A and B are shown apart, each in its own frame.
Chain A
Amino acid sequence: MLAVAADLIREATKRKWFLGLAIAITAVLVTLGLSLRMDVVDGALAATRLFGKLSHGPIQAVDVALRPVFQAVAAVVFYGGSVFGIIACADFAPALLSPGRIEHLLALPVRRWQLLVGTFLGVLVLSLAAAVYGAGGMIVLLGVKTGLWTWRPMVAALLATACFSSIYAAMLAVALFARSASVSGGIGFLVFTSGIAAGNRHTILPMFEPGVGRTLFAGYTAIFPRISSLGSAALDIAANQPLEVRSLPSLLLGVLIFGAGVLSLGIWRFEQKDF
């Protein structure tokens, strides 16, 4: 199983999408590292210069001043990372199942569920590595420039990975029913947007007239993990603010149940399928 995951990661490193992502994150970090200057006096951010241009703002404690920055980083990692992941990983499962490859893999001493779970783990490791590299890079950059060291954006990155894992589980499962990168990516976006709607269910529900429509919307969004609530929690944690959501563990449990459920469906289908 780990060998399958390792092969997927090895394959990903040869893909332009992932090389591009690594280069983009590095370029942003290097550019900010070279062009951003932050003057800290007695624990307060006195001045910020980006490309030599002075940014005017009130003098505040560094941790307070950096809250919006960490929130923005968490938002980019959480939402941007999910969208990027859906696009870049849509082809993995269809490629695994392509004629000539799957026959070869199934004839090897590897169980079918191990192939599927190995692929899932490989994508999980990739998304974790990208999130940790991006968030970790910003922590180090801002830590060096301001002296404020915090682990909070890293927690936000982990929540982003948890969110993407549930999306990818659905993408992987659907590839067993229709071997197509477009369908896999489409399902990824469907889960992503439905998960955002699910997180805002209580705000959206009153917009429906009481009746069938409202019940259908409530039933539909109940299936999906509450992605926007998890995103909101990630942003709050990154900015060291009190959580708006009532229970982070229940949100994570929802993500886990959804991911495990659709992955089990995929494994069941894989076990039944002839190639």
Chain B
Amino acid sequence: MGAPLAIEARGLHKTYGGLFGPRQRALEGLDLAVARGEAFGLIGPNGAGKTTFIKILLGIARPGSGQVRLLGGDPESVEVRRKVGYLPERLHLPQAWTPPAFLASVARLKGVETSPRALMDLLARVGLQDDAHRKIGGYSKGMRQRLGLAAALIGTPELLVLDEPTDGIDPLGRMEVRRLLLEELGRGATLFLNSHLLAETERVCGRVGILSAGRVLREGRLEDLCQSGSHYRVRFAPGFDAQALAAAGFLPGREAGAFRCEAETPERLNEALDRARRAGALVVEVAREEKDLEEVLQEAVRGAAPAGPREEAA
């Protein structure tokens, strides 16, 4: 039996519009499973259906067909929602309120008992302790985002669904948010992250799904997705003969002293290394070359078969 699932979606379809306007297919048979306690990142181009999927996941929108389970239950169940923390992409906050008043309101709606001290601690966790008594209307975009994150953390949720959590936050702030998310993972929470910042997703998530045109194109562990398969990165000790290495099948890499080598099998790789060593080169490092997430996304989206027109006549 596999690990218990935090998120389970099967055959999700969603179409918007109708009646008089064109129909827009947002999801086309989406399947996805996220185990409890893992950090999962959903990436994809604009209009891929990421936000629609999150809305269906939380019962904010309903699927046309298919099934979705959240923490083993119905997404619309009050008991399930009590265990979920959510940060929407564009959180609307009450301008005239102070952050503690807003957080207290969220806590009341969540049915979580809290105290002014606990709320201040929460604000300190997201780095807002010095601005806690200012009105939210005077907050910058990044500060609002931090406050939204604090609201999502109320009640120590089992599942955190974060839609662009670091949007508008400065680089140092992003580091703080990343630390905070890793803390949440450390205590056993499941993290579902939707972010345009691929570096952010790479640093936090263990598994990634690539969504495009309403379908999951690729999905798996980050290291598996980023492996190039037949490409290796090899470093030699100073004093190598670059021409001899080129003849042995090693092409200069991006960094000084690093070379790239293409080998279909380990035997071929070792044959190439032997040729290099015979030419006097000393091997100091061999690693499978990894693509970054940007390249993986680009490959997946370009390689996807055309899904046909996504707009239908009403």
Contact = CB atoms under 8 A, between A and B. Distances in A.
Interface string A99-117: 1111111111111000000
B109 A106 contact: no
A102 B88 CA distance: 10
Contacts of B62: 274
Interface string B2-28: 000000000000001000000000000
B101 A10 contact: yes
A266 to B, nearest CB: 18
A107 B70 CA distance: 12
Contact of B90 (A6, A99, A106, A110): A99
A275 B60 contact: yes
Given A11-B94, A104-B92, A275 B58 contact: no
Q: Which of the listed residues A7, A99, A109 has the most CB atoms from chain B within 10 Å of its own CB?
A: A109
A108 B148 CA distance: 13
Contact of A110 (B16, B58, B78, B89): B78
A107 B61 CA distance: 11
Given A7-B105, A107-B86, A108-B109, A275 B94 contact: no
Contacts of A100: 88-92
A4 B105 CA distance: 9
Interface string B91-106: 1101011000100011
A11 B55 contact: no
A128 B161 CA distance: 40
A103 B88 contact: yes
Given A108-B110, A109-B78, A274 B61 contact: yes
Q: Which of the listed residues B97, B106, B108, B109 has the most CB atoms from chain A within 10 Å of its own CB?
A: B109
B79 interface: yes
B157 to A, nearest CB: 10
Given A4-B109, A7-B105, A104 B78 contact: no
A37 B242 CA distance: 108
Interface string A194-223: 000000000000000000000000000000
Contacts of A253: none
A91 to B, nearest CB: 13
B78 A111 contact: yes
Nearest to B108: A3
Contacts of B92: 98-101, 104
A107 B154 CA distance: 13
Interface residues of A, number: 24
Nearest to A274: B61
Interface string B107-126: 01111000000000000000
Interface string B53-76: 001001111100000000000000
A119 B88 CA distance: 22
Given A3-B105, A4-B109, A106 B97 contact: no
Q: Which of the listed residues B82, B88, B108, B148 has the most CB atoms from chain A within 10 Å of its own CB?
A: B88
Contacts of B234: none
A39 to B, nearest CB: 47
A104 B96 contact: no
Q: Which of the listed residues B81, B90, B92 has the most CB atoms from chain A within 10 Å of its own CB?
A: B92
Nearest to B60: A106
A107 B110 CA distance: 10
A56 interface: no
B55 to A, nearest CB: 7
B205 interface: no
Nearest to A15: B96
B84 interface: yes
A53 interface: no
A109 B88 contact: no
Contact of B96 (A4, A14, A102): A14
A98 B55 CA distance: 15
A268 B24 CA distance: 24
Interface string A106-144: 111111000000000000000000000000000000000
Contacts of A111: 78
A106 to B, nearest CB: 5
Contact of A3 (B61, B91, B109): B109
Contacts of B101: 10
A20 to B, nearest CB: 15
A77 B258 CA distance: 83
22 contacts: A3-B105, A3-B109, A7-B108, A10-B97, A11-B96, A11-B97, A99-B92, A100-B89, A100-B91, A102-B60, A104-B86, A104-B151, A107-B84, A107-B86, A109-B78, A109-B109, A109-B110, A274-B16, A274-B60, A274-B61, A274-B62, A275-B55
Given A6-B108, A104-B88, A106-B58, 11 more contacts: A3-B108, A11-B96, A98-B92, A100-B89, A103-B58, A106-B59, A107-B81, A107-B88, A109-B82, A110-B78, A274-B60
